[in-house]
Structure 1
Amino acid sequence: MDKEILLANIDKIHTTPLGITRIRNNLQLDACDVVSHCKSKILDKNCRIYKQGKNWYCEIDSVRITLNARSYTIITAYLL
């Protein structure tokens, strides 16, 4: 299953400095580690993970996290 590929590569997940700012603003987060926050959402058993085209989409708790499927870069995360 595709989901297992993402979970097996959870340690590769990262984002850019601009991504940190964008995600923090979109999710209305305080000064927390954005990547760790996203990883914990992705690892939650209730997270719906699917691959569409070149991206992974992870949806949980009214949040959608989008990652590049090749580089495991968090592109964005936002409230649904």
Structure 2
Amino acid sequence: MLKSEWCYGRMNGKNQLLENLEKLHTTELGVGRIKKNLSLDTDDVVQWCQTKIKSAEADIKRNGKNWYVGIDNCVITINAYSYTIITAHRSRQENKRES
């Protein structure tokens, strides 16, 4: 694979995620895990994640079968095929500052 194809594929993946935000979902366990990890007080975790992903400041990267969205000192992990939000957690830099 040429470097230009690799770069295009990554950008295309970012656009693919943004174009399919309506497919984003998670499980009941995922909701609990995300709320706990981020100390969220919201009833709609999926909507919260969609808003973060749509932000101009969101850093969206695909690595293998998952997308990783970095925004506001947290990382949201999404399965690239099913659009399932797997987890979300504070970024490592944020965790180090709290220690």
When Rg is computed on C-alpha atoms for both structures, the one with the higher figure is 2
Unaligned stretches of 5+ in structure 2? 1-10, 92-99
For 1:49, the equivalent position in structure 2 comes to 60
Aligned length in residues:
80
Corresponding letter in the other structure for 1:39: Q
SS in 1 for 2:33: helix
Cα RMSD (Å): 0.7
Matches within 5 A, 1:51-70: 51-70=62-81
TM-score, reference length from structure 1: 0.97
For 1:74, the equivalent position in structure 2 comes to 85
* Separation of aligned partners in 1, 2:38 and 2:65: 23
**Identity of paired residues, percent?**
52
Q: Which runs of 4+ in 1 moved over 6 A?
A: none
* Separation of aligned partners in 2, 1:32 and 1:59: 22
Displacement after TM superposition at 1:30 (Å): 1.1
CA displacement 1:12-59 (0-9 Å, x = unmatched): 000000000000000101143111101100000110001000000000
TM-score, reference length from structure 2: 0.79
User: Which of 5, 10, 18 is matched with 1:7 structurally?
Assistant: 18
Deviates more, 1:25-34 or 1:51-60: 25-34
Corresponding letter in the other structure for 1:20: V
Larger helix share, 1 or 2 = 2
